[in-house]
Amino acid sequence: MNNKVQRFLTKDEELRLLNACEGLLGGELKAIVTIALDTGLRLSELLGLRWGDVDLKNRLIPVLQGKTHKPKASL
């Protein structure tokens, strides 16, 4: 039986989290958390990104080595 409960942050929880990240790691933590919230990427996927991976024109972040080792792209 699958007892896994999927929970999402409320808008208020997201705002509190982002406010708590303000100014930490030179502002980079807030950027990382924002991208994670917007895309659902895992921390390892986020930290493995390089600017060359990001397609700003098409608003895509291709992730080639995810947990499942299958290619995916997040918006």
- For the entire predicted model, the pTM comes to 0.67
Is 65 part of any domain?
Answer: yes
Is 46 part of any domain?
Answer: yes
38: how many CB neighbours lie within 10 A of its CB?
11
Per-residue pLDDT of the chain (75 residues; tens, 9 = 90+): 667 888 889 999 999 999 999 988 888 899 889 988 988 888 888 888 888 888 888 888 877 655 565 555 555
Range(s) of the domain holding residue 32: 11-74
> What contacts 14, CB < 8 A, 6 or more positions away?
37
Is 6 part of any domain?
Answer: no
pLDDT of residue 65: 59
Is 1 part of any domain?
Answer: no
Is 5 part of any domain?
Answer: no
Is 47 part of any domain?
Answer: yes
